[in-house]
Structure 1
Amino acid sequence: MKIDPSFFFKGSLGKDPMHPADLGYFFPAEFHPHDATWLSWPHKEASWPGKINEIYPAYATFVAYLSRSELVNILVADERMQRLAEDRLATAGVVEERIRFHHFPTNDAWCRDHGPAFLIHPNPDMSKAIVDWGYNAWGDKYPPYDLDNLIPGKVALHLGIPCFRPGIVMEGGSVDFNGAGTLLTTEACLLHPNRNPHLSREQIESYLKAYYGVQQILWLKDGILGDDTDGHVDDLTRFVSKNKVLTVVESNKKDENYQALQDNLKLLESFRMLDGSALEIVALPMPAPVIYEGVRLPASYANFYIANSYVIVPTFRDAQDERALDIISACFPEREVVGVDSWDLIWGLGSFHCLSQQEPAAGVFPSKT
């Protein structure tokens, strides 16, 4: 079955009979092979007040690693911003032939949350597709966000692939996938009334299953201190294989994150996968609190990005940096795990995973169970 690539599927559950899951589409795990990574060039000074020029060396290093691994699509406002980006990247050793710029203006840099959510299909005759979730800057915290909200549709038109519009708010950093039917998220974020106050938990689950092509939702509780997204899972727990997760754990019982992370750990231990098996859980340390101008920042080693050849991990000039890298390396024997200083980036309240969105490759499909 072929779908007209110019067609945008709109509607809510019960009104739109053509949901991605009905057609066989699903959202693969991040460790599935990529065709590309999508980024939105950082330009909003208010996201890194007083520090935006200091973030570019680390950001350019991130792009350089990506370009050695896969195609990198970078969204910029115009030719002027493209030239500024090219100048920043030139000194970082990027593979220039793997960089593609697109003149799609954005309000901010957090492509994980406003970028295209790509779906794939086991049938080679079916193109990729995009889910264009609504985006409201984490509960209308940082307007304007009108340009960001247009990005998935623009990318779908550019690539000539179908685009599904559920009509509700959802962010890429709020969900994580094992690629075999299971989605991991948090109650603190997805059930927050500043996203979809008209929907119950059961209704949200129905949307996740219909548009991401999953069969099971696993719910953690709260996020870490300083996370302005209300508890994105990509700062907490990440699938590294079908039945295995890395999850951050705080060892200092006096730390404000300690109990919330213990509660999440107990939930992970209680979860069962679709085949009835328990999750394999690998504990990842937390860095010491990162505080800037009196504000505790959401520094977490879990905010790594899995590229084809590398796993790019934020580091925080902390005694736990090397231990965290060693633990993550053991989970990815076929990729090189690299640490990139995120001391300045985290002032924007996010790091490498928050800044990126993968475009999966077609052709290699894991079992759904």
Structure 2
Amino acid sequence: MITRQAIISATDSPPATPAALGFSMPAEFAAHDACWMLWPQRPDNWRYGAKPAQAAFVAVARAIAESETVFVGVNDDQYENARHQLPAHIRVVELSSNDAWMRDVGPTFLTHPDGRLALVDWEFNAWGGLNGGLYFPWDKDRRIRSKIAEMLGAERFIAPLVMEGGAIHVDGEGTLITTEECLLNPNRNPKLSKAELERLLGDYLGVTRVIWLPRGCYLDETDGHVDNLCCFVAPGEVALTWTDDTSDPQHAISRQALNILEAARDAKGRRLTVHKLPMPGPLTIAESEASGVDRLSSSRPRKPGDRMAGSYVNFYIGNSAVVMPRLDPAHDDTARAILESLFTSRRVIAVDAREILLGGGNIHCITQQQPARRVPGHTT
């Protein structure tokens, strides 16, 4: 017997996707209204109760705030401490989290030609869930996107896809870069094929071309996030982490990525120009740095001698400034000069970022841009 409810269910069309409604993800180098960050505090990831990391986060927030409004989300028990350390013009809001990686636990913002702002709420499982994930639990992280949507009064699209913001970069003109190591990892979306993933990325971000790189940076604990390896710096132009040392495992990864990028065409049919950024180090964790981290079974251990996935590609593009990590005196100045040549209309600000790298990521990983709302009839 067919019930009326069965007839309704059978005839109901699925909800329209963001792309079908005209939304898309702008490039990071497009105009922003704000930047979102979170406050570090967990002692099993950040040494010495996260005090050195907090100082590094303050420096990043201060640098970005020269360019745009900065919001820092803080757990209640750290609110007064964060408010005391952060400059008055940086907005501190109570926004509970399990850790401080806003790029991955926060929303991916979308804009519409009519001026509306929306966001994508990806499923988050702490970079692999119980199969290689970096900590447990991640319940507070999963609520961050809905809370920000409420704060901004923005429409929220819930995506049927486990993903993190650091896994993607877009040019704002239909092209997306990602890695197979991350998105095709069985600890993310084991039932989805590459073609199905491309369709979902198109549906939720408005992209029409996906460029797949095989792997991310060597020993990147996020399973190879692209934002540590390669990023768009302009339409048709990308920056790629690079080493000429053929004995270093990173060389083969970067060489393979370079070959793919130079052979690819973007959504507009352009060939890509690839700018090489030198790899810092290699950098490893010192005994003194590892000894200050609490050892818990629910999080990733930090051991002396462990190599870190340091990269100058992990920078943030603000409205009038590019904030880059300072990681290695042997390469900092060269990397800065390259970025200054790529962003001639922006000031490049280098911030000491080793403390952030010790936690597993860097400046791009701890930030999330909120794009400027498009104004109908105006161009930027």
Distance 1:105 1:247 in 2: 34
1:111 maps onto 2:109 in alignment: no
How far residue 250 of structure 1 moved from its aligned partner, in angstroms, is: 1.2
Q: Given that residues 83 and 92 in structure 2 are in contact (C-alpha distance below 8 angstroms), is that contact kept between their aligned partners in structure 1?
A: no
Alignment of 1:25-36 (within 5 A): 25-36=23-34
Correspondence for 1:87:
84
Correspondence for 1:247:
240
Q: Given that residues 131 and 211 in structure 1 are in contact (C-alpha distance below 8 angstroms), is that contact kept between their aligned partners in structure 2?
A: yes
1:214 maps onto 2:207 in alignment: yes
Distance 1:248 1:51 in 2: 31
| 1:295-314: CA deviation from partner (whole Å, max 9, x where unpaired) | 00010000000111210111
1:332 maps onto 2:343 in alignment: yes
How far residue 235 of structure 1 moved from its aligned partner, in angstroms, is: 0.7
How far residue 223 of structure 1 moved from its aligned partner, in angstroms, is: 1.2
Which structure 2 segments of 5+ residues have no match? 1-11, 286-303
How far residue 16 of structure 1 moved from its aligned partner, in angstroms, is: 2.9
Please give the TM-score of this superposition, normalised by the length of structure 2: 0.88
Which structure 1 segments of 5+ residues have no match? 1-13
1:295 maps onto 2:306 in alignment: yes
Q: Given that residues 33 and 308 in structure 1 are in contact (C-alpha distance below 8 angstroms), is that contact kept between their aligned partners in structure 2?
A: yes
Q: Given that residues 325 and 352 in structure 2 are in contact (C-alpha distance below 8 angstroms), is that contact kept between their aligned partners in structure 1?
A: yes
SS at match of 1:131: strand
Alignment of 1:132-151 (within 5 A): 132-140=121-129, 141=133, 142-151=135-144
How far residue 81 of structure 1 moved from its aligned partner, in angstroms, is: 1.5
Distance 1:40 1:146 in 2: 15
1:60 maps onto 2:53 in alignment: no
How far residue 42 of structure 1 moved from its aligned partner, in angstroms, is: 0.8
Letter in 2 for 1:106: S
SS at match of 1:251: coil
| 1:237-257: CA deviation from partner (whole Å, max 9, x where unpaired) | 110111111111111111121
1:355 maps onto 2:344 in alignment: no
| 1:97-137: CA deviation from partner (whole Å, max 9, x where unpaired) | 3x22222210000000010111001113xx21111000000
Q: Given that residues 77 and 104 in structure 1 are in contact (C-alpha distance below 8 angstroms), is that contact kept between their aligned partners in structure 2?
A: yes
Correspondence for 2:291:
none
Out of 314-323 and 14-23, give the one that drifted further: 14-23
Correspondence for 2:6:
none
Letter in 2 for 1:55: A
Letter in 1 for 2:159: P
Distance 1:239 1:168 in 2: 23
Q: Given that residues 288 and 318 in structure 1 are in contact (C-alpha distance below 8 angstroms), is that contact kept between their aligned partners in structure 2?
A: no
SS at match of 2:160: coil
How far residue 364 of structure 1 moved from its aligned partner, in angstroms, is: 6.5
Alignment of 1:309-328 (within 5 A): 309-328=320-339
Letter in 2 for 1:87: H
1:20 maps onto 2:18 in alignment: yes
Q: Given that residues 317 and 341 in structure 1 are in contact (C-alpha distance below 8 angstroms), is that contact kept between their aligned partners in structure 2?
A: no
How far residue 50 of structure 1 moved from its aligned partner, in angstroms, is: 4.3
1:224 maps onto 2:213 in alignment: no
1:286 maps onto 2:284 in alignment: no
SS at match of 1:138: coil
How far residue 88 of structure 1 moved from its aligned partner, in angstroms, is: 2.1
Distance 1:15 1:222 in 2: 38
| Aligned counterpart for 2:254 among listed residues 246, 250, 261 | 261
Distance 2:55 2:140 in 1: 26
1:306 maps onto 2:317 in alignment: yes
Correspondence for 1:183:
176
How has the CA–CA distance of structure 1 residues 296 and 51 changed in structure 2, closer, same or farther, with 3 Å as cutoff?
Answer: farther
Aligned length, in residue pairs: 345
SS at match of 2:122: coil
Distance 1:177 1:143 in 2: 30
Q: Given that residues 51 and 344 in structure 1 are in contact (C-alpha distance below 8 angstroms), is that contact kept between their aligned partners in structure 2?
A: no
How has the CA–CA distance of structure 1 residues 44 and 286 changed in structure 2, closer, same or farther, with 3 Å as cutoff?
Answer: same
Letter in 1 for 2:82: A
Q: Given that residues 225 and 296 in structure 1 are in contact (C-alpha distance below 8 angstroms), is that contact kept between their aligned partners in structure 2?
A: no
Distance 2:78 2:64 in 1: 20
Alignment of 1:114-129 (within 5 A): 114-124=105-115, 127-129=116-118
Q: Given that residues 218 and 253 in structure 2 are in contact (C-alpha distance below 8 angstroms), is that contact kept between their aligned partners in structure 1?
A: no
Q: Given that residues 218 and 309 in structure 2 are in contact (C-alpha distance below 8 angstroms), is that contact kept between their aligned partners in structure 1?
A: yes
Q: Given that residues 313 and 338 in structure 1 are in contact (C-alpha distance below 8 angstroms), is that contact kept between their aligned partners in structure 2?
A: yes
How far residue 23 of structure 1 moved from its aligned partner, in angstroms, is: 0.5
| 1:203-259: CA deviation from partner (whole Å, max 9, x where unpaired) | 111110000011110101111123111100011111011111111111111112111
SS at match of 1:46: coil
Q: Given that residues 226 and 349 in structure 1 are in contact (C-alpha distance below 8 angstroms), is that contact kept between their aligned partners in structure 2?
A: no
